[in-house]
Amino acid sequence: MSKDERKDGVIRVLVVDDHDLFRTGLSSLLAAQPGIEVVAQASGGRMGVRLAQELAPDVVLMDLRMPDLDGARATREISERCPSTRVVALTVLSEDSDVASALEAGACGFLAKDSPIEDVVVALQTAAQGAAWLSPRAAEVVLARLRQTGAQPALDSGPIDELSGRELDVLALIARGMDNAQIAEALGISPRTAKNHVSKILAKLGLPTRVHAAIYAIRQGLT
């Protein structure tokens, strides 16, 4: 199905997870949400890559731990073969050693498997719009673990001295897992201004997503 043939405003989603009950339950919950269409389910990474190529979903929800092809490798293959498809990783936060590799592979966000359905919908909407997403709980746990372990993807980023003082403030809040609305409230600015600051930060540092920006901030000691 081409993008022109898709229903306007409907986000087409592929759910990839090897646990049948979790996958079917999540798919049922998503199918009941307005503006979401679950186009297929995959019980493993290889099937997920194949279905992503065949169906060209807007977003893939990808389990990171699967026996046949792990989520990071499947994410990399989807990113290479289906560049218009976004991947959001599903992670059990007690087992998130694969987060950095999934980020390197092209995942644009992370959701804890026990996230409320409202967070999942927001993550899908954010990913479909080309932005990155960390649920609040995922941000807290994942970024804390990255601080502790130093597990970071290799990033080729610009010098931090290119950022203004306000941009440094915004970058520090990104590293705390805040979204644009939360940043706006914390700094007393409008959400649109916060969004503009984030865009400028990514452009100046040469980083693809706010998740990368959060990791960059941690490496620079801004948190």
Map tokens 């700094």 to a residue. Answer: 187
Question: What is the residue type of 120?
Answer: V
**Predicted local confidence at residue 139, as pLDDT:** 62
Which residue pairs from 75-84 have beta carbons closer than 8 angstroms and sit at least 24 positions apart in sequence?
75/102, 75/105, 75/106, 75/107, 76/104, 76/105, 76/106, 77/49, 78/48, 78/49, 78/52, 78/106, 79/105, 79/106, 81/49, 81/52, 81/53, 82/52, 82/53, 82/56, 84/3, 84/56
Q: List, for residues 115-126, the tens digit of each pLDDT value.
A: 889 889 988 988
104 vs 81: which has the higher pLDDT: 81
Categorize the per-residue pLDDT at 1 as very low, low, confident or very high, splitting at 50, 70 and 90.
very low
Q: List, for residues 145-193, the tens digit of each pLDDT value.
A: 665 655 454 455 567 888 999 999 999 998 877 878 889 999 999 999 9
For the domain covering 3-148, report its CATH number.
3.40.50.2300
Residue 215 sits at the vertex; the CA angle it makes with 212 and 217, to the nearest 5 degrees, is 110
Lowest mean pLDDT among 21-30, 148-157, 198-207, 213-222: 148-157
Residue-range domain boundaries for the chain: 3-148, 160-219
Q: List, for residues 12-28, the tens digit of each pLDDT value.
A: 999 999 999 999 999 99
Q: Which CATH number fits domain 160-219: 1.10.260.40, 1.10.357.10, 1.25.40.10, 1.10.10.10?
A: 1.10.10.10
- CB neighbour burial string for 137-161, b if at least 16 within 10 angstroms, e if fewer: bbbebbbebbbeeebbeebebeebe
Closest CA to 44 of 1, 73, 9: 73
